[in-house]
Amino acid sequence: MGLEPFVALAKQHDVSIRPYVIPLIEDNGGIYSRNRPEARRAYWLKDLTRWAALRGKTLAFENRAALSDPTPAGFMVLAAIDAGEDWLRLAGALQEAFWVRGEDIGDPVVRRAVADAAGFHGIALERKAQSDAVQAVWKANYEIAKSAGVFGLPTFRYDGELYWGQDSLPFLERHLKGEKLVA
């Protein structure tokens, strides 16, 4: 839900976006929602619902447990980057499919259909996503993010400073305006 406001913020401040498509980094303290205590998962769902309402979206939470691992969708985004395609449009389409429509973007058939509907060549991206080059970028991104202290998603990094979660966008905005709030 924070992708669109983040992109708008980057454009407003003429900052280029360098994506590091990664999973959570458990070694740095990242906790997948399935591993959180029930009280924290319940709060997380309420918080997501609040953010969705604020962003004018409705999220699909039913049957979430049936969804497979969305990691291959990240590989597809990396393939789009490698191909010089509009990875932000693809990432947005995949996120909408996953969060708004509750589609299983871990399923290659679903992922290709989402890419095709967004104007990409899903089969070609899927093929490229499996390449050694894309897998190497995935591993390198993970190591870079881990050494930078990233643990959860989304994390935004500017001028060496990390901002975790879409609720940190106002702090990132202040930093972009020259006001760094950390000593």
Q: What is the pLDDT along the chain (183 residues), one digit of tens a residue?
A: 889 999 999 999 999 999 999 888 999 999 988 889 999 989 998 999 999 999 998 888 887 767 788 899 999 999 999 999 999 999 999 999 999 999 999 999 999 999 999 999 999 999 999 999 999 999 999 999 999 999 999 999 999 999 999 999 999 999 999 987 765
Q: Which of 70, 55, 46, 59 is nearest to 153 (CA)?
A: 70
Q: What is the pLDDT of residue 4?
A: 92
Tokens 């909408």 appear where?
Answer: 96
pTM score, two decimals? 0.90
Q: CA distances (Å), 178 to each of 28, 85, 172, 173, in order?
A: 28, 32, 10, 9
Q: What is the pLDDT of residue 62?
A: 80
Tokens 């969060």 appear where?
Answer: 99
Q: What is the pLDDT of residue 68?
A: 82
